[in-house]
């Protein structure tokens, strides 16, 4: 069986280093975490997360490992674990972290180093 | 009968909407983006389509992975702007063309495209980010000048629909539009891309050479794109860049030969922002 459960469309995708293809295996592993992150589109959930993160984590039944990654805004670990970038984007907005800053963190770079590689560093 | 008069391919990066909301038209970092879209807005103002059929994707905002639709079509007459974590953008709710939407939904299912069907759901930047560039006057006016038929495509979770399937969906949408008895002029819009990757250590990947080739192929040889695998799109344009299969749905709804009347490409930060306009022969 291929890395991606025999999906012929994904043959070769396993060769892309530093790439986390969001397939059904990953979706299952990240379901609880992604459900918590997705919930941040609801104003009351955002308010709870901001005022009492532990209560928000408990409501979502996040594991201690999941809670720590969210507390740390550890974008790289969250992606490795099974978060979808698009649910993480909600956490980014709630936490005031821009997409370029999230991308830089995933690359293991500071924002400044990352922006220096961009054509228009001010366009964010 | 209803008739497709042209198609638009456009990126839907959230920062496009953000730049609009923050009035960055004169900001040198953003001016090239606005200049790239101005001819598209002029083309729409001149052609005055009655309806836009919009192939777009949700970003785990409206839908969640506990039940993620592969293809979904909205059949309501108004769609709220979705809250993506900072409150909804302050733009008018989207208008839907409910009668045509219901007709297209029915026609697609009878044409063996078993769509999910949704009613009054809030929709995210996948649709509203490019829309403000296409109709920049609408926000001040407080109303969109044109109703939409929103068609959602899963490009978040594999198995995604294949490139060929997206192309065939576009062809089926054309048949559906042309079986509507009322005289309506329709523009189809395909959103997404171009090259970008938003996960892992490869995040920030771009490939302008591939983007330029894609823009050529989508015009002159879209069938070549339907023969590629999603893995090829991910390798060439980044894992999130594979969402350009939605341009194939737009292109599939057009005639084999169309003229490209405008194209713009701008790659300021993490995602290549492109827009292209294709026109059917009169």
The pLDDT-based confidence of B131 (bands split at 50, 70, 90) is: very high
| Distance in Å, alpha carbon of B281 to nearest chain A alpha carbon | 35
Paired sense of beta strands B94-95 and B78-79, if any? antiparallel
Contacts of B83 in chain A (CB under 8 A): 41-43
- Establish if A55 touches chain B: CB-CB under 8 angstroms: no
Burial call B210-220: b when 16+ CB within 10 Å, e when fewer: bbeebbebbbe
Mean pLDDT of A77-94: 98
What does the pLDDT look like over B3-18, one tens digit per residue? 999 999 999 999 999 9
What average pLDDT does chain A have?
95
Whether B56 has a pLDDT exceeding 90, the answer reads yes
CA torsion sign for B114, B119, B121, B126 is positive
Report if residue A111 sits inside a domain.
no
Report if residue A103 sits inside a domain.
no
Q: Count each helix (H run) and each strand (E run) in chain B, helices first.
A: 10, 10
Residue A63 domain boundaries: 18-96
Determine the pLDDT at residue A124.
83
What average pLDDT does chain B have?
98
What does the pLDDT look like over B22-43, one tens digit per residue? 999 999 999 999 999 999 999 9
Determine the pLDDT at residue A3.
66
Segment A91-98 long-range contacts (CB within 8 Å, at least 24 positions apart): A91/A37, A91/A40, A91/B85, A92/B85, A93/A40, A93/B84, A93/B85, A93/B86, A94/A40, A94/A46, A94/A49, A94/A50, A94/B85, A94/B86, A97/A73, A98/A124
- Whether ipTM tops 0.90, in short, is yes
What does the pLDDT look like over B217-247, one tens digit per residue? 999 999 999 999 999 999 999 999 999 999 9
- Establish if B203 touches chain A: CB-CB under 8 angstroms: yes
Contacts of A76 in chain B (CB under 8 A): 201
DSSP track, B218-231: HHH-HHHHHTS-HH
Residue in chain B closest to A123 (alpha carbons) equals B29
- Catalytic annotation present for B262: no
Paired sense of beta strands B3-10 and B273-279, if any? antiparallel
Q: What angle do CA B15, B16, B22 make, to 5 degrees?
A: 80
Number of structural domains found in chain A: 1
CA torsion sign for B133, B174, B177, B98 is negative
Report if residue A36 sits inside a domain.
yes
Report if residue A72 sits inside a domain.
yes
Cβ-based burial of B62 (10 A; exposed 0-12, middle 13-18, buried ≥19): buried
- Establish if A94 touches chain B: CB-CB under 8 angstroms: yes
Euclidean distance between CA atoms B2 and B243, whole angstroms: 28
Contacts of A12 in chain B (CB under 8 A): 229, 231-232, 235
CB pairs below 8 Å between A and B: how many?
A: 156
Whether A2 has a pLDDT exceeding 90, the answer reads no
Determine the pLDDT at residue A123.
85
Contacts of A49 in chain B (CB under 8 A): none
Cross-strand bridge partners of residue B3: B185
The pLDDT-based confidence of B64 (bands split at 50, 70, 90) is: very high
Q: Quick one: tokens of A86?
A: 């698009």
Whether B138 has a pLDDT exceeding 60, the answer reads yes
Q: Show Cβ contacts of residue B187 under 8 Å, excluding neighbours closer than 6 positions.
A: B4, B5, B6, B7, B8, B44, B47, B49, B51, B52, B53
Euclidean distance between CA atoms A59 and B167, whole angstroms: 43
- Establish if A92 touches chain B: CB-CB under 8 angstroms: yes
**Cβ(B160)–Cβ(A9) below 8 Å:** yes
Q: Quick one: tokens of A28?
A: 């299952």
Report if residue A6 sits inside a domain.
no
**Cβ(A36)–Cβ(A60) below 8 Å:** yes
Whether A1 has a pLDDT exceeding 70, the answer reads no
Report if residue A77 sits inside a domain.
yes
Given the residues B12, B125, B158, B262, select the one marked as catalytic: B125
Interface contact A9-B160, CB threshold 8 A: yes
**Cβ(B215)–Cβ(B274) below 8 Å:** yes
Q: Quick one: tokens of B212?
A: 């330029």
- Catalytic annotation present for B196: yes
What does the pLDDT look like over A40-71, one tens digit per residue? 999 999 999 999 999 999 999 999 999 999 99
Q: Can you give the CATH number for the domain in which A37 is found?
A: 1.10.700.10
The pLDDT-based confidence of A122 (bands split at 50, 70, 90) is: confident
Determine the pLDDT at residue A85.
98
Mean pLDDT of B124-150: 97
Interface contact B268-A86, CB threshold 8 A: no
Q: Map out the domains of chain B with their CATH numbers.
A: 3-279 (3.40.830.10)
Report if residue A3 sits inside a domain.
no
Whether A4 has a pLDDT exceeding 90, the answer reads no
Q: Show Cβ contacts of residue B165 under 8 Å, excluding neighbours closer than 6 positions.
A: none
């Amino acid at each position: 069986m291929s890395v991606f459960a025999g999906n012929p469309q994904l043959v070769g995708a396993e060769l892309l280093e530093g790439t986390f293809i969001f397939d059904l295996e990953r979706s299952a592993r990240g379901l609880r975490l992604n459900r918590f992150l997705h919930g941040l589109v609801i104003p009351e959930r955002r308010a709870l997360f901001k005022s009492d993160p532990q209560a928000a984590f408990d409501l979502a039944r996040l594991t201690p490992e999941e809670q720590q990654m969210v507390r740390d805004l550890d974008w790289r670990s969250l992606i490795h674990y099974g978060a979808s970038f698009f649910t993480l984007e909600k956490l980014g907005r709630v936490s005031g972290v821009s997409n370029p800053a999230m991308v830089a963190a995933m690359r293991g770079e500071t924002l400044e180093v990352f922006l220096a590689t961009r054509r228009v560093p001010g366009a964010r | 009968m209803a008739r497709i008069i042209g198609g638009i391919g456009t990126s839907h990066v959230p920062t496009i909407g953000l730049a609009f909301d923050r009035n960055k038209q004169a900001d040198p970092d953003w001016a090239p983006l606005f200049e790239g879209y101005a001819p598209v807005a002029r083309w729409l103002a001149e052609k005055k389509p009655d309806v836009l059929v919009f192939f777009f994707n949700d970003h785990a905002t409206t839908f969640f992975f506990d039940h993620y639709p592969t293809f979904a079509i909205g059949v309501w007459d108004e769609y709220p702007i979705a809250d993506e974590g900072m409150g909804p953008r302050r733009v008018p709710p989207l208008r839907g063309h409910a009668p045509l939407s219901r007709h297209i939904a029915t026609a697609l299912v009878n044409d063996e495209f078993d769509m999910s069907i949704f009613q009054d759901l809030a929709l995210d930047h996948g649709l509203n980010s490019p829309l403000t560039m296409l109709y920049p006057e609408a926000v001040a006016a407080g109303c969109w000048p044109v109703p939409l038929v929103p068609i959602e495509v899963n490009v978040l979770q594999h198995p995604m629909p294949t490139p060929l399937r997206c192309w065939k969906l576009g062809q089926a949408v054309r048949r559906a539009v042309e079986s509507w008895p009322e005289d309506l002029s329709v523009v189809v819009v395909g959103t997404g891309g171009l090259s970008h990757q938003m996960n892992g250590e490869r995040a920030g990947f771009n490939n302008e050479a591939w983007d330029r080739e894609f823009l050529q192929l989508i015009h002159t040889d879209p069938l070549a794109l339907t023969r590629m695998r999603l893995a090829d799109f991910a390798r060439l344009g980044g894992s999130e860049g594979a969402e350009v299969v939605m341009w194939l749905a737009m292109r599939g709804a057009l005639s084999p030969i169309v003229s490209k009347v405008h194209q713009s490409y701008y790659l300021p930060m993490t995602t290549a922002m492109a827009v292209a306009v294709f026109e059917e022969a009169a």
